Amino acid sequence: MTPLAITDYTLTTCLGAGRAANWDKIERGETGLKPCDFFDISDLSTWIGEVAGVDQQALPASLAAYNCRNNRLAWLALQQDGFLDNAVRAIESYGADRVGVFIGTSTSGIHQTELAYLAARNQLPDWYHYRSTHNVFSVADFVQQALGARGPCIAISTACSSSAKVFASAYRAMATGLCDAAIVGGVDSLCLTTLYGFHSLQLVSPDKCKPFDRERSGISIGEAGGFALLEKTEDARLMLLGYGESGDAYHMSSPHPEGEGALQAMQTALAKAGLASDSIDYINLHGTGTMANDAAESKAVAQLFGERTWASSTKGWTGHTLGAAGIVEAAFGLLSITHNLVPASLHLQQPDPDMHIALPRAAVQQPVRKVLSNSFGFGGSNCSLVLGERV
């Protein structure tokens, strides 16, 4: 495929707001996870990745109806690294109707509905606006209006692959001429539904998540927002080189045990990029910290890369940010290229002996030109991205 330039990007996670704050914690090896104290929860023994200052965010007055935790997080994330200004400039230069907005989210503003039910579950309160807060599309609508774009606009919601798949949809929309540039991103925020829901599936770790460790015991749930600006510019160091999407055709909440769907997504992404697996310098793994995901993913990665390519999960820092994981981990991949540093797989103490992949327990300083980023979701929805310098 013809690569697309990533001319700007930003991320906000529990590590901090913006690229520098996030990368600083990666370099120091400091997690952003803490024991769960979200909302009024007292009965869940788990760790969370909460973004600081979300509730202090005030949305633009004209978008007051969008006020909910998820859109406050979107607004906080948009303002980092000068992204908002650069996006607005791009929209002015291309024309508003030529810029698309593609946002991934898993639960959008569902916490607002949880609050409305807790307040009055028989007749929902007047302050509750379903359309502009909870609805899956609310965050895409909010971002589009906050930036002033008027091109194609969708929310993609394929659970934990959502904000990786935005790159594929944006590429296609630009290739068919629906738009000339795209703002892609993902935002997901803490809520009772995911904290209690993943708990009911016994997928939540009582400890900080430890991806690929022999004693890993599940995920830590995080929240995050991130965005990227995609343009057709010919030369940029940071480009979208390939994407691959696949289904597992296996189970609603467990990955294919041999990682067959994951393998297909990675192979397709490499094929679209026109690259062999040995061109990849770093793999940002989905690496959630569940027994099933890490076992399946390592099998698929081992088949393509063996132990030749450094592969780590950054979820030990941020937790699993669900619908935002794709954009957050794409951003870590881009930062890895900029800083020529492979992040460690944080909290990995004793690698599972069945994992035949190259898991770094400490950061590795080396040239990083091309990165593969994996995102896999419930329903067997897989997406891999290849990012880096033009081939």
Partner 1 sequence: MKIFIDAVGLAAPGLSSWTEALPVLRGEQAYEAQELDRYKPEQLPANERRRATDLVRMAFRVCEDLLRDNPVSIRRCAAVFASSGGDYPIIDQICKALCEPERLVSPTQFHNSVHNSAAGYWSIATGSRAPSTSISAFDDTFAAGLLEAASLCAIEQLPTILAVYDIKPPEPLQSKRPITLDFGVAFLLSPVESTRSLAQLTLTPAALAAGTPAQVEALEAMRLSNPAARSLPLLELIARRQAGQLLLDANNNPTTIVEVTPCP
Name which of 66, 68, 329 is nearest 191 in CA terms: 68
| 199 binding partner 1? (CB under 8 A) | yes
Given the complex with partner 1, which of 153 and 328 has the nearer CB atom? 153
Name the catalytic one among 111, 320, 347, 383.
320
* Least distance (Å) between residue 4 CB and partner 1: 13
Residue in the block written with tokens 């760790």: 47
Do residues 185 and 261 lie in contact, with contact meaning Cβ atoms separated by under 8 Å?
no
Is 286 catalytic? The answer is: yes
Stretches 120-128, 306-314, 339-347, 368-376: which one binds partner 1 (CB under 8 A)? 120-128
* Least distance (Å) between residue 256 CB and partner 1: 9
* Least distance (Å) between residue 25 CB and partner 1: 30
Among 19, 25, 69, 129, binds partner 1 (CB under 8 A): 129
Given the complex with partner 1, which of 42 and 56 has the nearer CB atom? 42
CA–CA dist 68, 320 (Å, integer): 21
CA–CA dist 18, 127 (Å, integer): 31
Given the complex with partner 1, which of 191 and 224 has the nearer CB atom? 191
Look at strands 47-49 and 221-222 and give their pairing: parallel
The amino acid that residue 314 corresponds to is T
Given the complex with partner 1, which of 150 and 369 has the nearer CB atom? 150
Binding mask 234-253 toward partner 1 (x if CB under 8 A, else -) reads: -----------xxxxxxxxx
Q: Which residues in 133-162 contact partner 1 (CB under 8 A)?
A: 135-138, 140-141, 144, 150-159
Name the catalytic one among 160, 179, 191, 209.
160
Stretches 16-24, 61-69, 125-133, 291-299: which one binds partner 1 (CB under 8 A)? 125-133
Given the complex with partner 1, which of 112 and 309 has the nearer CB atom? 112
Q: List the structure tokens of 109.
A: 């503003």
Element (H, E) at 135: none
Q: Which residues in 88-107 contact partner 1 (CB under 8 A)?
A: 97, 106
Is 129 catalytic? The answer is: no
Do residues 161 and 375 lie in contact, with contact meaning Cβ atoms separated by under 8 Å?
yes
Q: List the structure tokens of 112.
A: 């607002």
Residues 256, 193, 36, CA angle at the centre, nearest 5°? 95
Given the complex with partner 1, which of 136 and 325 has the nearer CB atom? 136
153-174 burial, b for 16+ CB within 10 Å, e for fewer? Answer: bbbbbbbbbbbbbbbbbbbebb
CA–CA dist 168, 385 (Å, integer): 9
343-368 burial, b for 16+ CB within 10 Å, e for fewer? Answer: bbbbbbeebbeebbbbbeeebbeeeb
* Least distance (Å) between residue 298 CB and partner 1: 20
Which residues are part of the catalytic machinery?
A: 160, 286, 320
Contacting residues toward partner 1, per CB under 8 A:
43, 97, 106, 110, 113-114, 117-118, 121-124, 128-131, 135-138, 140-141, 144, 150-159, 165, 168-169, 171-173, 175-178, 192-193, 196-201, 245-253, 260-261, 264, 377-381
